[in-house]
Amino acid sequence: MTAQTVPTTDDSGTPQDRPRLAAAVVLAAGEGTRMRSSTPKMLHTIGGRSLLGHVLTATRELDARRTAVVVRHQAERVAEHARAIAEGVLVVEQDELPGTGAAVRSALSVLDAAAHADRAAHGVPLGQEGQVLGDGLEGAVLVVAGDLPLLDAGTLGELVASHVADGNAVTVLTTVVADPTGYGRVVREDGTGDVLKIVEHRDASAEELEVAEINTSVYVFDAGVLRAGLARITQHNAQGELYLTDVVALAREDGGQVRAIVSEDPYAVEGVNDRVQLATLGRILNDRVLEDWMRAGVTIVDPATTWVDVDVDLAPDVTILPGTQLHGATVVSAGATIGPDTTLTDVEVGEGAVVSRTHATLSVIGAGANVGPFAYLRPGSVLGEKGKIGTFVETKNAQIGAGSKVPHLSYVGDATVGEGTNIGAATVFVNYDGVHKHHTTIGSHARTGADNLFVAPVTVGDGAYTGAGSVIRQDVPAGALGVSAGAQRNIDGWVERRRPGTAAAQAAAAARGEGVEPTGDDDSSDDAVVPATEPATLTGAMPALGAQALRELAKHADAADQPRPTSPHSEALDDTFTIRTARTEGTDR
């Protein structure tokens, strides 16, 4: 039997520059015992994509008319995943028989039925192009194991092209390895070099075991050859399985030509059987992804500690500092700097942004914004252009407008912050009442004091201020100053009375210039009132900055010379409010 040529026109009749596959069959029914995992082997990931996803991505580029995925072990999970990542894929459940031959037989019966249905739907008359309706699928069929994550479309394309050009019945992708133990050996014909048969390790003779060329479980079959061969394979072998590999010898028996292409890239055809191979191929894939990005204009300072998933998108002149992981659908725009020690998952980073020592998920960081060091952006964090989420700041479901800043030690959850607003250090957006989450809204150009609590739901208007240490439970109108903290009381002499003999008490006594015994134990007593004095100056040896550090420091000196604005909080206390210090005679407890 000779191979049929693959149609060279697509549905619209336009000539194609490469032959179109009738079908691709991906084998994903195996148990993957050596993974020792409750997760099916095909669903383990490298580079942010499942093993099955890698193979389906490579086969998709070949544009086969139909793609079938054969499942059995944890069939539902694998099937659901396959449908989710590859639209229109046919999921085929392997029948109860064991082996790769049984898997492809199940697939072919479904593909045949689909081909019949297609013809019926398109009203193609019997006998056109020599087709007999009963034959089902016609043309070239790619068969590929689902556990070859580094298999690339280029290699597959060459395999298909050579299959068609040589008019083969079967074309096998092989590789030569140092240790072929466990693999099917490729037995070639002297002289022609054509493939005679593939012998499984456990069925091989001593001489066949010497062969270092192995079957990679990637093939192109003529559909008719495959159908005829699968009808005749048996379980009479060492493993009692139906071997797909037996179709090779049967094709030869029928006069078909079987040739092999040897892969030059050992990793492209390396299967994942255990977690050691998973990690090895994960590293190789990452190296390749990083190399592609570096060639595309991305600076990656330390490829050894940088991990970038296959679906991440990076613009030219992005800089990635050591210890950075970019996952999922993360997109980084031109000129942004990410890292060191940063993990972004499904994050969009705008042009020129700087993101350092940050852990962020499902968030958007605007152009020119500054995040970190030590920031934690949870899902729904959106930072506007030139905004800042600073040090030890956690955000969640929070929109922080352009130019707004949350510089230090804060939690911003379920919040909207306008533009040009500054959130004081150590602020908590109290969003959770123990049962429900509530929203806080802060307007634009607001200035909130340090150590505030915004007890949601609450709104602070545009241009409003809040005093330091405030607990804001009620709305603050635009332009108002919201203050909730009471006036400060100093209880003189307290330390010497209540903490006698401590270093603090001694320092207090020294500050008064005498070693007076603290008197009494009544906190409200005036007996121990001492005049305020300047704190003692440092007397011990202090480390000093070196000359170069001093020069650097001098560059920043201007900032320190700015006039210090008065505290709105203290102004409010002085001018606006009558502070009721209830229980001024009270205790300090």
Q: Which two tokens stand for residue 49?
A: 């994509």
Active-site pick, 116, 359, 408, 445: 408
Q: Which two tokens stand for residue 153?
A: 């479309």
Q: How far apart are CA 261 and CA 78, in angstroms?
A: 30
Q: Which residue is nearest to Ca ion (CB)?
A: 271
Instruction: Decide if 411 contacts 429 (C-beta within 8 A).
Output: yes
Using H for helix, E for strand and C for coil, what is the string for 20-87? CCCEEEEECCCCCHHHCCCCCHHHCEECCEEHHHHHHHHHHCCCCCEEEEEEECEHHHHHHHHHHHCC
Q: How far apart are CA 50 and CA 26, in angstroms?
A: 14
Of 70, 108, 281, 458, the one binding ligand UD1 (CB under 6 A) is 70
Residue for token pair 């006998």: 127
Instruction: Decide if 173 contacts 150 (C-beta within 8 A).
Output: no
Q: How far apart are CA 497 and CA 499, in angstroms?
A: 6
Q: Which two tokens stand for residue 569?
A: 């909080």
- Span of 211-219, 284-292, 409-417, 524-532 interacting with ligand UD1 by CB under 6 A: 211-219
Of 271, 339, 401, 443, the one binding ligand UD1 (CB under 6 A) is 271
Instruction: Please report how close the Cβ of residue 422 comes to ligand UD1 at its closest, in angstroms.
Output: 57
Name the DSSP class of 14.
-
Element (H, E) at 195: strand 195-199
Q: Which does 30 bind (CB under 5 to 8 A by kind): ligand UD1, Ca ion, none?
A: ligand UD1
Q: Which lies closer to ligand UD1 via its Cβ, residue 213 or residue 348?
A: 213
- Helices 51-60 and 153-166 cross at an angle (nearest 10°) of 50
Q: Which does 518 bind (CB under 5 to 8 A by kind): Ca ion, ligand UD1, none?
A: none
Annotation says 408 is catalytic: yes
- Span of 28-36, 276-284, 473-481, 567-575 interacting with ligand UD1 by CB under 6 A: 28-36
Instruction: Go through the chain and tell me how many residues it has.
Output: 589
Of 94, 333, 381, 421, the one binding ligand UD1 (CB under 6 A) is 94
**454 part of the interface to ligand UD1, by CB under 6 A:** no
Of 19, 47, 99, 413, the one binding ligand UD1 (CB under 6 A) is 99
Burial class (CB in 10 A: 0-12, 13-18, 19+), 454: buried
Q: How far apart are CA 94 and CA 71, in angstroms?
A: 6
Q: How far is residue 39 CA from its own chain's centroid?
A: 19
3-state secondary structure of 389: strand
**53 part of the interface to Ca ion, by CB under 5 A:** no
**221 part of the interface to ligand UD1, by CB under 6 A:** no
Q: Which does 431 bind (CB under 5 to 8 A by kind): ligand UD1, Ca ion, none?
A: none
Beta bridge pairs of residue 213: 176
Instruction: Please report how close the Cβ of residue 74 comes to ligand UD1 at its closest, in angstroms.
Output: 11
**159 part of the interface to ligand UD1, by CB under 6 A:** no
Using H for helix, E for strand and C for coil, what is the string for 304-348? HHCEECCCCEECCCCEECCCCEEECCCEECCCCEECCCCEEECCE
Look at the alpha carbons of 99, 101, 107, 109 in this order and tell me if their dihedral is positive or negative.
negative
Of 271, 339, 390, 401, the one binding Ca ion (CB under 5 A) is 271
- Span of 96-104, 121-129, 252-260, 314-322 interacting with ligand UD1 by CB under 6 A: 96-104
Q: Which of residues 178-207 bind Ca ion (CB under 5 A)?
A: none
**217 part of the interface to ligand UD1, by CB under 6 A:** yes
| Radius of gyration from C-alpha coordinates of the chain | 36
**256 part of the interface to Ca ion, by CB under 5 A:** no
Q: Which does 103 bind (CB under 5 to 8 A by kind): Ca ion, ligand UD1, none?
A: ligand UD1
**195 part of the interface to ligand UD1, by CB under 6 A:** no
Q: Which two tokens stand for residue 347?
A: 């994050």
**149 part of the interface to Ca ion, by CB under 5 A:** no
**467 part of the interface to Ca ion, by CB under 5 A:** no
Instruction: Please report how close the Cβ of residue 271 comes to Ca ion at its closest, in angstroms.
Output: 4
Q: Which lies closer to ligand UD1 via its Cβ, residue 204 or residue 347?
A: 204
**350 part of the interface to ligand UD1, by CB under 6 A:** no
Of 69, 155, 163, 200, the one binding ligand UD1 (CB under 6 A) is 200
CA atoms within 13 A on the CB side of 78: 31
**215 part of the interface to ligand UD1, by CB under 6 A:** yes
Instruction: Please report how close the Cβ of residue 245 comes to Ca ion at its closest, in angstroms.
Output: 12
Q: Which lies closer to ligand UD1 via its Cβ, residue 27 or residue 298?
A: 27
CA distances from 138 to 152, 246, 249, 252 (A): 25, 21, 21, 19
Q: Which lies closer to Ca ion via its Cβ, residue 28 or residue 110?
A: 28
**243 part of the interface to ligand UD1, by CB under 6 A:** yes
Q: Which does 57 bind (CB under 5 to 8 A by kind): Ca ion, ligand UD1, none?
A: none
Of 147, 213, 222, 419, the one binding ligand UD1 (CB under 6 A) is 147
Give the DSSP per-residue string, 498-530.
HSTTSHHHHHHHHHTTS-PPP--S-TT-STT--
Residue 375's identity, in one-letter code, is A
Of 244, 251, 258, 310, the one binding ligand UD1 (CB under 6 A) is 244
Of 47, 48, 53, 146, the one binding ligand UD1 (CB under 6 A) is 146
**100 part of the interface to ligand UD1, by CB under 6 A:** yes
- Span of 26-34, 343-351, 388-396, 471-479 interacting with ligand UD1 by CB under 6 A: 26-34
**101 part of the interface to Ca ion, by CB under 5 A:** no
CA angle 258/260/263 to nearest 5° reads 165
Q: What are the residues binding ligand UD1 (CB under 6 A)?
A: 27-30, 70, 94, 98-100, 102-103, 145-147, 183-184, 198, 200, 214-217, 243-245, 271
Residues in the site for Ca ion, rule: CB under 5 A? Answer: 271
Residues that are catalytic: 408
